[in-house]
Every structure is written in structure tokens, then in C-alpha cells.
Amino acid sequence: MTKIDDVARLAGVSTATVSRALRGLPTVSAATRRRVLAAAEQLEYAVSPSASRLAGGRTGTVAVVVPRITRWFFGIVVETVEDFLHQAGYDLLLHNLGGREQIRQRVLRTANLHKRVDAIMLVATPLRPAELTALAALDLPGVIISSGTVVPGWPCVRIDDVAAARTATRHLLDLGHRRIAHISGDPDDELAFTTHLDRRRGYRDALREAGLHPDPSLDVESQFTIDGGNRATEELLRRGDPPTAIFAACDEMAMGAMTALRDAGLRVPQDVSVIGIDDHDLAGVLGLSTIAQPAAEQGLLGARILLDPLGGRTLEPPGRPGGDPPGSPVILPTRLVVRASTAPPRAN
Amino acid sequence: MTKIDDVARLAGVSTATVSRALRGLPTVSAATRRRVLAAAEQLEYAVSPSASRLAGGRTGTVAVVVPRITRWFFGIVVETVEDFLHQAGYDLLLHNLGGREQIRQRVLRTANLHKRVDAIMLVATPLRPAELTALAALDLPGVIISSGTVVPGWPCVRIDDVAAARTATRHLLDLGHRRIAHISGDPDDELAFTTHLDRRRGYRDALREAGLHPDPSLDVESQFTIDGGNRATEELLRRGDPPTAIFAACDEMAMGAMTALRDAGLRVPQDVSVIGIDDHDLAGVLGLSTIAQPAAEQGLLGARILLDPLGGRTLEPPGRPGGDPPGSPVILPTRLVVRASTAPPRAN
DNA sequence: CTGAAAGCGCTTACAG
DNA sequence: CTGAAAGCGCTTACAG
């Protein structure tokens, strides 16, 4: 195991100089730096992260907390953030809550992040009061992606869920639909999302703007998964007088809805139109109309803001009007993508 | 920041004793341990990982290297392994190669893993000779999941890809198909899988066992993705005289094949049967017949073997016959799942 | 069962 | 621009 002393000896300098040269500090002469780098190269020296962290007081690590990495949105975010962090020289400490209360408690306690990371990215993870207090006590920089809670001082990057849902619903209204169902997440989901609340609001807003009354019998709560969409749609059909269109709160639910409809002998879109939110990898394959949201961009921008020593004010996406109150979230745009799953209702 | 000295002072013992008590070492009296734990609790003490690692010589971290976390198999593996590692008190350092040569080089160099992790899990990541040398030089325990290279001394957990492919092909043969195409991964894929080679071999073996000659015009290479399956199938159809069945090397390719067939006006399974390998989350939704492979089990078993101080010989799955030569991979079973995408060919 | 002391391998004021 | 020395916060022989 070659250590810094070996490099110092070979280069004929002190360990302090090796440390400075290797980290690219400006206070090293070009000639010295060259000698140090050559020595380090020759000895295949790699700094010991533990020693460096202990002495330097920085961990060089960012915690990324996601509900479930196997879900489309979270997978994309992690992939993007991982790439960016590693390029910036940071390690990524992954925490996948996995819907298990036990894991959630393990992760979201002070002790588990303290002294272990320099910063925290919370993806769609709402916090309970005690968790919020614990995180705030860490006094670490953090960023929120997509939704969850507001942590004082932590920037947030997300889409406008209300607007996205409104656009989806309006697309169905524009096609002529009037009996529009909504299937969405459940407050009792172990993962405790809040996203579905905003999306339901957008759905209801759009209906009201069109002069329609939201019909509770057309609004079914389930899980944010394929299976959840499947079951919600089955429940919907069980209630009789099926809708002519379904707005699913995410693409995975929409896929489950398409299956349930097919299993019930209904065709999409001839009998029932379906639209989701996300633009999941498979949306194109399935011909699913959707509201595309920029998952990678949310992760990337969040990571940049997190690492930006200036606090990220200079990293806002172009085109965003200045003058927002400090602390307001960065909202990234969504986009209606019309595919084969939505069409006008059959002739009345 | 409360540190170990604070706890020692409050508990009225030395820091050595605090250290021992907190780590559950047996050489501490029950009374002392109780006092130490109470003091630590009261002060909300959390050990500094950097200091502990530097002094103890263990990083408490496992590197997990995957080609792309957004693909079904790798997402499942990471989720499973993350849970197990954290329960065992280890951190998971995630490396997502993402098909970028630059990242690959960064990750698979000695310097980046050395002194940074205690063990390495390589998921479906074939190594070049130089990378193999570098990893071997690390002299760390490691485990291989699914395939890739053989690293001397590293156990391997996987399925039998040849057998899985043979079963898939035989299912089509049993249904009466004779013109069976195969779409699979490309050697030029940036991720450089080897899995597709085994699967192609199983396909050809099955054909030969049925007295058929593999027809090169029915064998198209592409990428292991939905889009890859889509393009491979388009190519297949472009060649004229389409097959009556397609065996896709993975479910994601099979999904792309289903889309391409539908876009070409062909029905599944009436005109063309399709089968994949994986049992992807969406396989059920899409009615895709497949060879199910236990992704979570491969990850979990690999992680257990990695952390097992005994080297994992006691952790082999039950039912596995003893007497395998040491170093031979642990093979987990696969299972044919027949859904709606496979049926007998139309009347000749 | 417990403690005093050395040491893990760096980085950081401080001095020059 | 460079070095000597202290210190980061633990763990580990070594003694007792």
C-alpha cells in the first residue's frame, strides 16, 4: 500500500506539498507539481479516502434517497445524478427506502447521515415532523427533487404537478370526453408520496374549468404502480357505467389500466382513452399518450445546485424569469405527447 | 459534534471501552456496556465513519458495479443488494457504467476502488485483460453476478443462460414452430455483455436438437433494449419471409419486437409468437411469455456470499448437489412462463 | 474486563 | 512556494 510518505520521499518534498500538488492547489510551483505527479504515477498512489476525509473534514460523499430505484422516474434520476457526482469527484451513497418503514427509519435518522455525507438529495420523499427536525439538525446542504416536503434552506427542483394533470385532463376534454376517470396514488402507500394530491387537484381543476363536476365514483385511489393501475381500473369497471377516458396519475398506472381494459374486453382508445404522466421508456412502445416530464434534467439540475458553492442561483434553467421569491422551487416544463391511446369518444 | 471522548467522559470510562461497547465486542461487562450505551444515547453520539475506517482499516463499504441501473435486471439487483448491505451495516457505493467508455475507465481502475471499499460486486460486467489485472491487484473479495468474466477467487452467481435459451426455443418448437428467429445483443454494444453469446448458443442447440439448421437470416443482432428489439425485428421483417416465432434474448427486446410486429400489421401470437427471458415487471401486463429468472435472488445470494466470512460455501441454495469443483458458479433455476404471446403457428 | 498510548494516513494552520 | 508539526476521531495491540 503506497502512502503519501512514499510519494513525498520519491519526489523529494514534504507530504504537505504532495497533498497540495495532488489536489491541484495553486500554491505549488509547476516544477514541483510535475515531480509529485510523476512520483505518484510511478508508485500508483491513490489517496486514502478515510484519512483524507478525517483530516479534511469533508466526506466527498452525497446521500441520495429515493423511494424505489426500480421505478422509472427514480432510476433515471439516480443514473443521471450518479454520473454527475462521480464526474465531480463525489461518491454516491444510495439509500433506497423500498417502502419499508424499518428502512425509512434507518435512513432518515440523524446518526446515519451525520459525518457520513456532505450533502443530501431527497427524491420524492415526504418527511414527517421528527424526520424534518433530524435532517435540519444535520445542518447539511440538501436539495429536494420532485416533491415531498419543504426543508428550510433546501432548494427544490420539480415539475408543476397540478399543471401537468390539468393539461392531461384538458387533452381528454378537448377530444370531447365528459366522463373522465382518474386513478391515482393512495395516501396509505407506505412510501407516502404527495405527488398524487397535486395531480388530483389538476384533474379536478380542469373538470371544473370545463363546467363539469368531479364525480367521486370516477376517482379511484390505488398505488403508483402497474399493478395499482390495474386494480384501480378493475374497481372502476366494477362500478358500472364506465368512463370514456382515464387519466392515470403516472404512466405505470396507465399501463396497468390498459391491461385491465383489455382484459375486460375494452379497446384503447376506441372504447376508452388512456393518458398518463411521465413519458416512461415504454410509453412509446405501448402507444401511450402522456405528459412528458424531464426526469434526467430534474436530477441533473438538482445535483448541480447541490454542489454549486454559490447556492445554485446562477444555475437556474435559462428562460426562467427572475424575481421569484428566494426558496421557491425551480419548475421544469412538461409537454403533452399524443400517441395512440387517446381519441375522441365514440359517437354519442 | 459529540465525539467519543464526550461519551467516555459521561460514562466514566476510557474511549477504548466506549469503542468496544458500542461495537458489541464481548470483552465488556454488562454494566459498563449499559452505561456506555446510555451515555451515547443521551449525547446522540454517532461514530465518525472516516475516523473509524482509518483506525480500523475497514471501509464498511461495498462497491456495486452495474452496466445500467435503469434496466430491469440491474434495478432489481441493486435494490435487493442495497437492502441487504445496509442491514448488514455496509454502505453501498454505486457505480453505473452507463455505456460510456470514460466512466468505465474511471470505475475499473485500481485507484478508484482501492482503500475505498472492502469488497466488490460486479454485475454483468465483462472485463478486459487490463481491468482484470487491476482488479486482481486490489486483492479484495469480490463476487460476479450473472456473467461477465471469471475473476480468479471470485464466486459467481448466475443462471444457466444456455439452458434458459434452449428452453425458450424448445417451447416454440413444441408449439410446432419451425421458422424461429432470434434477436439478441450485439458484441459492439458499448456495455460489452457476454450474455447474448450464451443465449444464442442455447437457441442454436435447441434448433439442432430438433433437427433444424440455424438460419443466419433469422438471427439479428442489436442492443439489449426495447429499441434494440424494435429495430432488430424491423430488420427481420425487411428480409422477407418472416418467421412464425421470435425468441428475444431478453424481455425488453421482446417488448420492442411486439411493437415492431404490431406496427407491421402482424398480430401476436396469431401471426408471430414472441418469447423473451427475464420475467420483467411488464411481462405480465403485455402477456409476454418468457423464461423467468430470479433477479433478486441472484443479487441477494451474491451479497451474502460476499459478506460471508466463510466464503459462502455454507450459503449455497438448498438442493444444489455438492461436489461441484470449487470456483464453479452457483446456478439459480429459471422457469418457463407461458402467457399470451406464444401459440401454435397458423395452419400450414 | 479496562485503560494509556500509539498509530491509522492524511490536511491544515503556522512559520518561514 | 514549501516544510515541521499538530490534529482529525477513532481502533488496536499491549499491559494489567
Break chain A into its structural domains and give their ranges.
4-55, 61-159+295-317, 161-292
- For the CA of A57 and the C1' of D6, the distance in angstroms is 15
* Dist. CA A145–CA A151, nearest whole Å: 12
B347 close to A (CB below 8 A): no
Name the residue with higher pLDDT: B231 or A192.
Answer: B231
A 90-109: CB under 8 A from B: 91-96, 98, 100, 103, 106
- Same topology, domains A4-55 and A61-159+295-317? Answer is no
Pick from B48, B72, B95: CB nearest A115: B48
The CA-atom distances, in angstroms, between B41 and each of A130, B7, B10, B11, B71 are 17, 9, 11, 11, 42
Pick from B50, B82, B111: CB nearest A94: B82
* Dist. CA B110–CA B112, nearest whole Å: 6
For nucleic chain D, give residues with Cβ below 7 angstroms from it. A 12-17, 20, 26-29, 31-33, 51, 54-55, 57; B 1, 3-5, 15-16, 18-20, 22-23, 45, 47-48, 51-52, 54-57
Name the CATH topology of B61-159+295-317: Rossmann fold (3.40.50)
Kindly indicate the confidence band of residue A153, based on its pLDDT and cuts at 50, 70 and 90. confident
In chain A, where do the E strands start and end? 61-66, 91-96, 119-123, 142-145, 156-159, 180-185, 219-222, 245-248, 273-278, 289-292, 330-332, 335-337
Q: What is the pLDDT of residue B189?
A: 60
Cell representation of residue B183:
434477436
Name the residue with higher pLDDT: B263 or A20.
Answer: A20
B96 in helix, strand or coil? strand
Q: Which of A245-249, B193-197, B318-322 has the lowest mean pLDDT?
A: B318-322
The minimum CA-CA distance between A312 and chain B, rounded to whole Å, is 25
Which among A125, A116, A127, A137 has a CA at the least distance from the CA of A62?
A116
Strand C proximal to A3 Cβ, under 7 A:
yes
* Dist. CA A168–CA B209, nearest whole Å: 53
Question: Given an 8 Å threshold on Cβ–Cβ distance, is A48 in contact with B115?
Answer: yes
Phi, psi (degrees; rounded to nearest 5) at A343: -160, 165
- For the CA of A148 and the C1' of C13, the distance in angstroms is 42
Q: What is the pLDDT of residue B147?
A: 77
B134 close to A (CB below 8 A): no
Cell representation of residue A279:
413519458
Pick from B49, B70, B258: CB nearest A76: B70
Q: Is residue A311 over pLDDT 80? A: no
Sign of the alpha-carbon dihedral angle for A169, A172, A178, A183: negative
Average pLDDT over every residue of A210-216: 94
* Dist. CA B346–CA B330, nearest whole Å: 41
* Statement: A4-55 belongs to CATH 1.10.260.40: yes
Which among A79, A47, A75 has a CA at the least distance from the CA of A60?
A47
Nearest CA in chain A to B102: A87
The CA-atom distances, in angstroms, between B292 and each of B33, B174, B186, B250, B331 are 49, 18, 22, 10, 14
Q: What are the beta bridge partners of residue A145? A: A123, A157
Q: What is the pLDDT of residue A319?
A: 40
CB contact at 8 A, A122 and A93: no
Q: Is residue B318 over pLDDT 60? A: no
Question: Given an 8 Å threshold on Cβ–Cβ distance, is B82 in contact with A96?
Answer: yes
Strand C proximal to B55 Cβ, under 7 A:
yes
Cell representation of residue A222:
390505488
The CA-atom distances, in angstroms, between A35 and each of A6, A16, A42 are 13, 14, 10
CB contact at 8 A, A18 and A40: yes
Kindly indicate the confidence band of residue A315, based on its pLDDT and cuts at 50, 70 and 90. very low
- Nearest-CA residue relative to C1' of C4: B14
A51 close to B (CB below 8 A): yes
Q: Is residue B320 over pLDDT 90? A: no
Indicate the residue type of A199: R
Q: What is the pLDDT of residue B136?
A: 81
On average, the pLDDT of chain A sits at 87
Question: Given an 8 Å threshold on Cβ–Cβ distance, is A79 in contact with B96?
Answer: yes
Strand C proximal to A15 Cβ, under 7 A:
yes
Nearest CA in chain B to A59: B50
b/e burial code for range A218-252 (CB count within 10 A of at least 16 → b):
bbbbbbbbbbbbbbbbbebbeeeebbbbbbbbbbb
Q: What is the pLDDT of residue B200?
A: 95
CATH of the domain spanning B161-292: 3.40.50.2300
Nearest CA in chain B to A253: B285
Q: Which of A44-53, A304-313, B29-38 has the lowest mean pLDDT?
A: A304-313
B163 close to A (CB below 8 A): no
Q: Which residues contact B130 (CB under 8 A, 6 or more apart)?
A: none
Question: Given an 8 Å threshold on Cβ–Cβ distance, is B78 in contact with A69?
Answer: yes
pTM, two decimals, is: 0.89
Average pLDDT over every residue of B193-212: 92
Sign of the alpha-carbon dihedral angle for A308, A313, A314, A316: positive
